[in-house]
Amino acid sequence: MRDFGKRGFSTQSTQWQLSAYAKVNLGLWVAPRDNRGYHPVWSVMQSISMADVIRVTPSSHYHVEMNVPLEQRQFVPSLANNLITRAYHGLKDQYPEIPTVKIQVNKHIPIGSGLGGGSADAAAILRWAQMVINKKIDPKFAANLGVDVPFLISGGTAQATGYGEDLKYLHPLRGWYVVLVSPNFGLSTRHVYNAFDTLPNSSHLSIESMQDVIRRLELGSSPISLFNALEPAAWKVEPKLKNLKADLRSVSRKPWFLTGSGATYFTLLRSYEESLALQKDLVNRKMDNVAGIDIAEFVGPF
């Protein structure tokens, strides 16, 4: 069991420590592929206190180290082609004054969870670079790394449209907690989107209903449902995920929502005490295929 509190951004003369915050999607609408082969999206995104911890230290040559829980190591992308490396080298090409560094990542965000772990790490590097060079990074550069990256640079609460770079920041939501249930398997975002393409008559959600969700949260009332267009596709890629949701609904009366392309489900609560009680109850149930049951809080902007 883990409880993620707020972590700050700290610097020393010889190293920087960064927090790479995860996110949840408070609803997610996905359009068909466009002529470039991309899916435009519309979502309300919220940063949460679960975070990877990144240490950046000056070095004679660039390299990155990933400290990942043993059970997740099979899902780690090639270090030569992960989002951190792509972000750093892309920035270094544009801004040679960025120092050569060693990057150490302590992973707390599950891989393949829909919580934006890889994007959060890349966004933390962009946030660090902005501080080092005292310049704002082009949102299009961030969006080219991943649809979640532009939002995760600043976090908070925002409507994201298009390909991630079109952000409308909302009044930050405060006093909300999430209980996150992550299975012992991850999902490939690419595989889920490919499965989405095969589904007939993909559902749509109007912007107005998403506004209703935000109003309910601002008033302190939990929404009954949060639409996620990718959930049926995620079930198609991994049927055990549908079974997990059924198990969660059978042991808790709370509504459970899929974040991103999966595979983590979450529910919304108003107090830490209520979150802790639900976490303990779920742990005691010993559900099949569950790797982690965590508590996090809404945070941001940073």
Phi, then psi, of 171 in degrees rounded to 5:
-60, 125
Separation of CA 72 from chain center: 16
| Pairwise CA distance, residues 265 & 182, whole Å | 7
| Pairwise CA distance, residues 256 & 18, whole Å | 30
Kindly write down the DSSP assignment for every residue of 99-148, as one continuous string: PPEEEEEE--SPTTSSS-HHHHHHHHHHHHHHHHHTSPPPHHHHHHH-TT
| Pairwise CA distance, residues 65 & 87, whole Å | 15
Classify the phi-psi angles of 190: left when phi > 0, otherwise alpha if psi is within -120 to 50, otherwise beta.
alpha
- 3-state SS, one letter per residue, for 22-35: EEEEEEEEECCCCC
| Pairwise CA distance, residues 273 & 251, whole Å | 18
Q: DSSP 3-state assignment of 176?
A: coil
Residue in 52, 107, 121, 148 annotated catalytic: 148
- Kind plus residue range of the DSSP H or E element containing 255: none
| Pairwise CA distance, residues 21 & 172, whole Å | 15
Any idea which residue has 């994201």 for tokens? Answer: 160
Query: How many residues belong to the chain?
Result: 302
135 is known as an active-site residue? no
Residue in 23, 52, 107, 247 annotated catalytic: 23
23 is known as an active-site residue? yes
Residues with catalytic function: 23, 148
